Structure 1
């Protein structure tokens, strides 16, 4: 396999099934559909942590959060352990980023030759409120999501336009320079469809006449871990009108993002780089979209934990759908494979997507995700193997779903006697990856140290949360919180 250039395209909070190529009945994503037609779509792809900062740390390092101590939105990637960018730099391959990174700051040695208009943690510290887990606070800033939903422009949509413009210019310059001595890699990272769910008017209007509402309501009989999550994030101001506006905004932002992806794909074609460049499209995690009374991410249901993933370019099967489970951790070996390199690190759990796409589908491959951040009463761990999804909550009953028979995940088999053997098999797979009880203990100990370094629990609650990380040049808007008694 000949080494080629690589473009890694990442969106933020794009649920895996909200693409035309994934079978969605009305979403307009012609450019992602075009990319999928040119390459391979992975229809069982997952984040390794359904929240931005630890997901992006796994993406950078190719390792799980519990391996590296990346637990939440206050434990950013700082350059340790080595990223795929470090390996490229050591080999002399040009590598850089344009757009959102969500690492600690711009000066840490994260393995990038350049960072154009990067977004990093607020003050290099991030969301310390998410470290407060015993008891969970009430996050009142979450109410902004309903209030802000609708048509319009935000600092995020302006930021994404700037990212797209910078990416197209960078690609055009590469085309003018001709064949590089060694293939380059660029990470282009956009924010949409991340909230606020305010979509530019022309994209909002695409869905304004669609009757939009969640298909799965919240239930008083739901799992206690999920009840605690919903209680932490205060979304009590959603009514039918605000829900419809939020979903219209979300779908509009997906199509807005798709248009920006199209501009980048057109730039690759115009620069004459199509035959010498592989492209990966992925999102850092999904979005609940109001299902089960939840918005944002932060849980292991498909809406939040599953992500879109598409690979195209030389040696990639065209028009192919791969059903082998994959995750963000697989991007690390993919980037190196594309450059003709191998990290040779026994602690890397991933494999090259280029190799996986060329093989027969595997029902035995295991992928893993974990969550220890805002709203988590205890550590949540997910195992996906074949048709089964197993979710283990420390100190609580597990959940089990048969994704073939029950793709909407409404029939929880977590305690049924007839599925005990399946649960035992999947729990054994979890124990081969980590000890969930010990990982939960370590996460909470690290978070307690962060809280202490920031003045203690009362000071953190008084400062509160700020919702989404602001775009470069904008300021975070904190709203105080309080602990539940």
Structure 2
């Protein structure tokens, strides 16, 4: 059929417009990429966007400025392996099997690697990788670039392999960038940025020269962490990946100082989470919605368009991200089993956004941690011993050290009025009904989990 030049021109123009519209539609409906940057033993209170005064974490703060800040996110067990296993599986520690540090998960589980792959995603991980076995449970593509050894004396990294991964093809991806900062031994970073004498110490610490000296080393690694976040976000922008990529920052559990990591006080359990999602999450906002690490995988599944996975402990908080809800869950739960990091010292907890109940299941025993309190290592891990030495003459130091070693069966706190959890309300008559209510809910949760309590904090045979 003959067409005139004018008709061919308008036909070509119509096809061009149609193709452009198809491209725009495809771009708008493409599933978002996800980059999850996770710290290692971060005291989230030190981040300037969370009120920290010792360091300005400008790159992490930028995510808060451009996204949503979570004020009430908690790890269920304040140590690395259980937290990461919960993140990946959407299950609480007793159900995924890693209910002690370095105890492996059960080998019949599925994880985010399966769930997102089923929804068309590539799922990768770079950096700290000690929670990626067995491969049948954690089928991540391991990407070179970041240091995998969390106790390495250096944290050298390169972004070439990360760049290749995020620009490889048009398939959506979820990449976990697992930093080893600021995990001990605190050997990297520029300590000259900080004046030990001017640092503002956490209120649950004893002020000693040794503590301040170690805190300087710790903050230098927080600076390294912030720099890494900046490098990743700049890479996304340089490659054009930022426009359709969700960036999540996670703080993990508290620092390896007495009373934080390996405990169920808030300085151990309370974390940080920032979510930047262009066009979906309102910039510069914050939420008090209660969430746990177990909720992240269900949320990723929801974002990717999947149906809820039956049997997971976590719950999606996508409505919170989209500004459609201010609430995610009613209660957050906590579990601590002390072996292999010390003597048996099982602890359980339950909290809402204000009140928290802690049960120390063997209160007749003293708490002990082999990394901080081993007399044979006093020359290498001396923060605790500097506290203990000062406690012989300083009443406040004595109060803090005794509180750490000798704990009552029941602790109950109003975390709004008492964020450092110094004022135990367990014997206060005004709170007995609430304590009874929380205790019943905690008992119900333990039964649902198959958690027998103190008896599971024991030595287990290692798998071959």
Does the 8 A contact of 2:126 with 2:148 survive in 1?
no
Residue of structure 1 in register with 2:442 after alignment: 430
Pairing 1:51–2:79 present: yes
The structure-2 alpha-carbon separation of the partners of 1:370 and 1:204, relative to structure 1 and needing over 3 Å to count, comes to farther
Please list the CA deviations of residues 413-466 of structure 1 after superposition, one character each: whole Å capped at 9, or x if unmatched: 12222211111121122123213995325523xx43327x79xxxxxxxxxxxx
Does the 8 A contact of 2:72 with 2:353 survive in 1?
no
The structure-2 alpha-carbon separation of the partners of 1:189 and 1:429, relative to structure 1 and needing over 3 Å to count, comes to same
1:41 aligned counterpart, secondary structure: strand
1:17 aligned counterpart, secondary structure: helix
The structure-2 alpha-carbon separation of the partners of 1:89 and 1:62, relative to structure 1 and needing over 3 Å to count, comes to same
Pick one of 305, 323, 326 that aligns with 1:358: 323
The structure-2 alpha-carbon separation of the partners of 1:322 and 1:412, relative to structure 1 and needing over 3 Å to count, comes to same
Pick one of 192, 199, 208 that aligns with 2:181: 192
Question: 1:33 offset after TM fit, Å?
Answer: 0.3
Does the 8 A contact of 1:286 with 1:305 survive in 2?
yes
Q: Aligned partners of 2:328 and 2:77: how far apart in 1?
A: 22
- TM-score (normalised: structure 1): 0.73
1:37 aligned counterpart, secondary structure: helix
Does the 8 A contact of 2:114 with 2:139 survive in 1?
yes
Residue of structure 1 in register with 2:261 after alignment: 297
Task: Compare 388-397 and 272-281 and name the one that shifted more.
Answer: 388-397
Does the 8 A contact of 1:103 with 1:120 survive in 2?
no
Pick one of 327, 337, 349 that aligns with 1:382: 349
The structure-2 alpha-carbon separation of the partners of 1:424 and 1:378, relative to structure 1 and needing over 3 Å to count, comes to same
Residue of structure 2 in register with 1:440 after alignment: 453
Q: Aligned partners of 1:109 and 1:115: how far apart in 2?
A: 17
Residue of structure 1 in register with 2:239 after alignment: 271
Question: 1:170 offset after TM fit, Å?
Answer: 3.9
Pick one of 239, 251, 262 that aligns with 2:230: 262
- TM-score (normalised: structure 2): 0.76
2:144 aligned counterpart, secondary structure: strand
Pick one of 250, 264, 267 that aligns with 1:282: 250
Task: Compare 75-84 and 322-331 and name the one that shifted more.
Answer: 75-84
Pairing 1:41–2:69 present: yes
Pick one of 193, 203, 208 that aligns with 1:205: 193
What does residue range 124-139 of structure 1 map to in structure 2 within 5 Å? none
The structure-2 alpha-carbon separation of the partners of 1:430 and 1:78, relative to structure 1 and needing over 3 Å to count, comes to closer
Bigger relative contact order, structure 1 or 2 (CA pairs below 8 A, ≥6 apart): 1
Question: 1:268 offset after TM fit, Å?
Answer: 0.6
Task: Compare 257-266 and 294-303 and name the one that shifted more.
Answer: 294-303
Question: 1:11 offset after TM fit, Å?
Answer: 0.7
Does the 8 A contact of 2:184 with 2:256 survive in 1?
no
1:249 aligned counterpart, secondary structure: helix
Quote the RMSD (CA, aligned, Å).
2.9
Number of equivalent positions = 387
Residue of structure 2 in register with 1:323 after alignment: 288
Question: 1:204 offset after TM fit, Å?
Answer: 4.4
Does the 8 A contact of 2:97 with 2:105 survive in 1?
no
